[in-house]
């Protein structure tokens, strides 16, 4: 069986008393740890069957969630002789209609990420067929069910969870008696897949999926969720009553199911959000602040107006006991939050800094802003970026990846045609006409074309340079890292390499910054931000012994996807209406990302709108807690290594 590797979660919940969870939840530090354990459990099932000379029948999933499980199974096969000779697999689903060899088909996926690396007999691998005529679909679905039954049913089912709460392609509304069938894909799910298909229009509307009943018939089920972007749906699946509106809730009725997740995906469970409701807590200032902000927001009352009764009536009497009375507690937490607000992101020179988020000295700091994609710097902290430059700090911006996945082909065509006409006009054709024609052809079947990717990267470089110059940098402060993990890994499989870490270390060593800003925005749909952050964490760890590192503070920002909660913020930079407009102009420099960038996620607003709304909302939340009213606020959390 799987075991929690986090002894308690969250750490400040000392004695759990009441659980809100209706499915056994197992939490790991990160997806790597969790995936390893899942792979081990699958190996156990296979080997147990082997020892009894029986076949193991596995239900498998696709998507980003199982990727690490599959790579772990491959390494168990390579390094620990795990054989798949007795294994039959049944995949959950396939898009319809879609050819097997389409790079987004689940046939292609399974072969690419598992089957071709192990010793499974290809005849034992079943995936619903996306390339059969509509008239054959019904009988194909029946045969699929029959085949599973004839092998004795599923010993094990692996599942991911979609943001709609779907399992397989059983979207909201699916009945618990459903079997393998053709279904319509939910719009949110289609939008989530849009980037993989190079635009929403290319995403199939339908899929063949095994049913809820088929899934529930498995003898053991593990459902996985990794990352903050899954946290909301995880809470619904785990804590809401069973209902068709979140099909994953059906799993609550299964006798042998585990919901395996990482810390980030567990972040919205009641025990994580409001641990005092789940048991006895270890109260420190951080948890007290979280509780006070929660209470203030729940009651719609400013912090300084909260009374003893408010605390008592909302399950926070224990907190009050520790703090003597509401008045004392309110003042303490009010001051704590007040001290996060500053107009001096690089520290205010010549002032007492004991209650300020940043040090006064050195008055002029060396700063690196790491930006995972070429526009995250201005989207997430454009106002602070402008301030740092204006306040005389030596600011560098480091674009970690080229961002070439997120440029439309039509933009590339515009540049190629410009180039062509300019070359004709000046009689200075550097690229041959055939080369240009080939590029145009490649636009039709764009995936994987290196030259096209290069052009896309150059388009984004130009935009990033323009925006950084607009923020006041000269070219010496602009660094393009083109981190190899992004160039090599493709959209799905992003794994940090030694080269990425070295590049990051080299830049840090060359600049010896006092302040580093990095994207701690872990909700980005393709994991790029996460890998970029891991590169920085690892570089910091390795450089820890260097003298200048003692003065180097790491600040995390978030932005386009989701902001920090108020109690997590250590530095809040208010922006005036004019500064917000200036920030918008900086974001506008990223023309290829305007209107409908290829990767908008499920949010249909443009990046500048999301960013402004977030910044305004943070200001509003501060206001509601009883602080001064600002137009907008950019928020940062200081990262301290343990
Ligand atoms: C995949 C499948 C889906 C995914 C779900 C989560 O075969 O049927 O239910 O498991 O959409 O997708 P990811 O893991 O990409 O977040």
Q: Is 166 in the pocket of ligand 1 (CB under 6 A)?
A: yes
Residue 209 β-bridge partners: 93, 181
pLDDT in the model for residue 135:
98
Higher pLDDT: 404 or 308? It is 308
Query: Quick check: 199 pLDDT over 80?
Result: no
Alpha-helix runs per DSSP H in 226-346: 231-239, 270-273, 285-299, 308-313, 317-323, 326-338
Q: How far apart (Å, rounded) are the C-alpha atoms in residues 375 and 610?
A: 13
- Bigger pLDDT: 209 vs 444: 209
Quote the ligand 1 centre to 260 CA distance (angstroms): 14
pLDDT for residue 275 is more than 60: yes
Q: What is the pLDDT of residue 445?
A: 59
Question: Is the pLDDT reported for residue 1 higher than 90?
Answer: no
Averaged pLDDT, 609-638: 96
- pLDDT tens track for 17-28: 999 999 999 999
- For a mutational test of ligand 1's pocket, the pick from 61, 163, 602, i.e. the residue with the most ligand atoms closer than 8 A to its C-beta, is 61
- Percent helix, strand, coil in the chain, to 5, is 45, 15, 40
At 51, the pLDDT band (50, 70, 90 cuts) reads very high
| Concatenated DSSP letters of 532-565 | HHHHHHHHHHHHTTSGGGGG-EEEEE--SS-PPP
Q: Which of 31, 59, 62 to mutate to test the pocket of ligand 1 (most atoms within 8 A of CB)?
A: 62
Residues 52-101 have pLDDT tens digits of: 999 999 999 999 899 999 999 999 999 999 999 999 999 999 999 999 99
> Once rounded to an integer, what is the mean pLDDT over residues 466-487?
97
**Residue 117 burial class via C-beta count within 10 angstroms: exposed 0-12, middle 13-18, buried 19 and up:** middle
Contact 481, 507 (CB under 8 A): yes
Question: For 317-357, what is each residue's pLDDT tens digit?
Answer: 999 988 889 999 999 999 999 999 999 999 999 999 999 99
List the beta bridge partners of residue 126. 90
Task: Give the tens place of pLDDT for each residue, 215-240.
Answer: 999 999 999 999 888 999 999 999 99
* 209 Cα nearest atom in ligand 1: 8
Distance of alpha carbon 365 from alpha carbon 346, whole angstroms = 7
The two tokens of residue 322 are 């520790």
Q: Is it true that the peptide bond before 52 is cis, omega within 30 degrees of 0?
A: no
Cβ of residue 162 lying under 6 Å from some atom of ligand 1: yes
User: Lowest mean pLDDT: which of 203-212, 457-466, 547-556, 585-594?
Assistant: 585-594
pLDDT tens per residue, range 200-213: 888 999 999 999 99
Distance CA 311, CA 313 (A): 6
* Long-range contact set of residues 216-220: C-beta below 8 Å, sequence gap at least 24: 216/176, 216/250, 216/251, 216/253, 216/254, 217/153, 217/154, 218/59, 218/153, 218/154, 218/155, 218/156, 218/157, 219/153, 219/154, 219/155, 219/156, 219/256, 220/45, 220/155, 220/156, 220/157, 220/256, 220/257
Dist CA 457 CA 437 (whole Å): 20
Is the confidence at residue 500, as pLDDT, over 70?
yes
Q: What is the pTM of this model?
A: 0.87
529's CB contacts (< 8 A; 6+ apart) are 372, 376, 519, 521, 522
Is residue 128 lining ligand 1, measured as CB closer than 6 Å?
no
Per mean pLDDT, which range of 121-125, 406-410, 426-430, 614-618 is the poorest? 426-430
Atom of ligand 1 nearest to the CA of 224: 14
Residue 367 has pLDDT above 90, yes or no: yes
Sign of CA dihedral 122, 125, 131, 136: positive
Both tokens of 68, joined, read 């690490």
Q: What is the pLDDT of residue 489?
A: 67
Whole-angstrom distance, CA of residue 218 vs CA of residue 149: 11
Residues 25, 263: Cα–Cα separation, whole Å? 11
- Please give the pLDDT value at position 595: 63
Catalytic residue flag (residue 612): no
State what percent of residues in the chain have pLDDT above 90: 78
* 603 half-sphere exposure, CB direction, 13 A CA radius: 17
Task: pLDDT band for 600, please (50, 70, 90 cuts).
Answer: very low
**Which residue out of 94, 104, 171, 634 is catalytically annotated?**
171
Is residue 122's pLDDT more than 50? yes
* CA atoms of 164 and 253, how far apart (whole Å): 19
Q: Is 63 in the pocket of ligand 1 (CB under 6 A)?
A: yes
Closest ligand 1 atom, CA of 61? 7
Mean pLDDT of 617-628: 98
pLDDT digits (tens, 9 = 90+) for 177-195: 999 999 999 888 898 888 7
The partner residues of 515 in beta bridges, in order of sequence, read 367, 553
Question: What are the distances in angstroms from CA 187 to CA 169, 172, 423, 492?
Answer: 12, 11, 44, 21
pLDDT given for residue 602 in this prediction: 52
pLDDT at position 448: 55
């Amino acid at each position: 069986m799987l075991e929690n590797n986090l002894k308690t979660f969250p750490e400040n919940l000392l004695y759990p008393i009441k659980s809100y969870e209706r499915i056994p939840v197992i939490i790991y530090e990160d997806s790597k740890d969790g995936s390893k354990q899942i792979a081990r459990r699958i190996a156990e099932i296979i080997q147990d069957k082997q020892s009894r000379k029986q076949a193991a029948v596995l239900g498998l999933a696709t998507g980003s969630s199982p990727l690490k499980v599959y790579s772990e199974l491959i390494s168990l096969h390579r390094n620990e002789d795990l054989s798949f000779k007795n294994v039959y697999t049944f995949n959950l689903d396939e898009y319809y209609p879609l050819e097997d060899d389409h790079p987004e088909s689940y046939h292609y996926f399974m072969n690419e990420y598992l089957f071709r690396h192990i010793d499974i007999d290809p005849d034992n691998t079943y995936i619903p067929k996306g390339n059969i005529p509509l008239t054959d679909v019904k009988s194909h679905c029946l045969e699929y069910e029959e085949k599973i039954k004839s092998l004795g049913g599923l010993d094990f089912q692996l599942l991911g969870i979609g943001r709609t709460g779907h399992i397989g392609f059983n979207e909201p509304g699916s009945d618990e008696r459903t079997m393998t069938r053709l279904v319509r894909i939910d719009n949110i799910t289609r939008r989530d897949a849009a980037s993989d298909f190079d635009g929403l229009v290319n995403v199939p509307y339908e899929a063949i999926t095994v049913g809820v009943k088929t899934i529930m018939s498995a003898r053991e089920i593990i459902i996985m969720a990794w990352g903050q972007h899954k946290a909301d749906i995880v809470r619904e699946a785990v804590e809401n009553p069973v209902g068709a509106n979140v099909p994953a809730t059906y799993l609550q009725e299964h006798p042998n199911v585990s919901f395996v997740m990482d810390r980030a995906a567990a972040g919205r469970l009641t025990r994580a959000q409001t641990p005092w409701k789940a048991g006895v807590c270890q109260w420190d200032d951080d948890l007290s602040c979280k509780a006070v902000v929660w209470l203030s927001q729940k009651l719609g009352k400013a912090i300084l107006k909260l009374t003893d009764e408010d605390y008592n009536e909302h399950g926070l009497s224990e907190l009050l006991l520790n703090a003597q009375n509401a008045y004392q507690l309110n003042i303490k937490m009010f001051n704590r939050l007040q001290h996060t607000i500053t107009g001096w992101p690089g520290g205010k020179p010549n002032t007492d800094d004991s209650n300020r988020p940043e040090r006064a000295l050195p008055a002029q700091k060396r700063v690196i802003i790491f930006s995972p994609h070429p526009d995250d710097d201005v989207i997430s902290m454009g106002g602070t970026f402008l301030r740092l430059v204006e306040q005389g700090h030596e600011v560098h911006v480091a674009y970690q990846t080229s961002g070439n996945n997120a440029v439309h082909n039509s933009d590339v065509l515009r540049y190629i045609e410009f180039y062509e006409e300019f070359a004709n006009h000046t009689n200075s054709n550097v690229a041959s006409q055939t080369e240009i024609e080939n590029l145009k052809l490649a636009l039709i079947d764009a995936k994987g074309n290196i030259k096209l990717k290069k052009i896309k990267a150059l388009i984004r470089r130009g935009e990033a340079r323009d925006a950084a110059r607009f923020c006041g940098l000269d070219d010496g402060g602009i660094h393009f890292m083109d981190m190899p993990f992004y160039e090599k890994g493709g959209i799905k499989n992003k794994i940090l390499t030694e080269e990425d870490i070295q590049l990051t270390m080299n830049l840090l060593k060359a600049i010896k910054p006092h302040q580093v800003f990095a994207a701690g925005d872990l909700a980005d749909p393709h994991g790029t931000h996460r890998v970029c952050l891991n590169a920085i964490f690892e570089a910091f760890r390795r450089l820890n012994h260097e003298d200048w590192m003692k003065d180097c503070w790491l600040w995390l920002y978030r932005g386009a996807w989701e902001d920090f909660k108020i109690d997590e913020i250590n530095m809040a930079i208010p922006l005036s209406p004019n500064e917000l407009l200036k920030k918008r102009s900086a974001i506008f420099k990223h023309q290829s990302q305007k209107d409908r960038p290829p990767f908008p996620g499920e949010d249909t607003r443009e990046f500048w709108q999301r960013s402004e709304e977030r910044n305004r909302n943070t200001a509003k939340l501060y206001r509601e807690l009883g602080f001064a009213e600002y137009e907008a606020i950019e928020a940062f959390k200081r990262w301290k290594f343990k």
